[in-house]
Amino acid sequence: MRASTAFRGDIEGLRGVGLIVVVTAHICVAVLPGGFVGVDLFFVISGFLITGILVGELATTGRIDVLRFYSRRAKRILPPAGAASSVRRAARTRSRWSATRTPRRGCPPCAPSRRSGGGGWSRT
């Protein structure tokens, strides 16, 4: 059984709104302190899509193959997650900031640190 691959503009629009909220919150917490709402939106969309897949499989086959469901998720999610993790690890080991400095809450242009003289960075 294959889930419907029809384009859903409404879902893509909601994903776009969620992405904008999350990215804006990461760029500058002071501008959008409720950035977690974007993450919540992603969870709601995921739940909606997963429910549709499971209901469709139940309607088609009369049962839900949980092992097959999770294996499909793993095949889809683990390769990009591994690649992102590898890139992040490589960038962190090459970064001159990684060993000596850690970011403070907020961002340099929006929330400079008064103790460190600004810039949003402090020694730990």
Within the chain, strands assigned E span 101-103, 121-123
Residue 3 lies in a domain: no
Quick: pLDDT tens for 50-87: 999 999 999 999 999 999 999 999 999 999 999 999 99
Residue 84 lies in a domain: yes
For the cut 50, the answer to whether the pLDDT of residue 120 exceeds it is: no
Strand partners, 121: 103
Per-residue pLDDT band at 7 (split at 50, 70, 90) = confident
Residue 26 lies in a domain: yes
Q: How many domains does the chain have?
A: 1
Amino acid 108: pLDDT: 54
Residue 27 lies in a domain: yes
Residue 122 lies in a domain: no
* Burial of residue 93, with CB atoms counted within 10 A of its CB: 0-12 exposed, 13-18 middle, 19 or more buried: exposed
Residue 124 lies in a domain: no
Quick: pLDDT tens for 20-60: 888 888 887 777 777 788 889 989 999 999 999 999 999 99
CB 63 within 8 A of CB 69: no
Domain of 71 in residue numbering reads as 9-113
Amino acid 5: pLDDT: 67
State the average pLDDT over residues 97-103.
Answer: 54
pTM of the model: 0.59
Residue 61 lies in a domain: yes
Amino acid 6: pLDDT: 81
Residue 2 lies in a domain: no
Calculate the alpha carbon distances from 76 to 27, 57, 80, 97 in Å.
28, 18, 8, 33
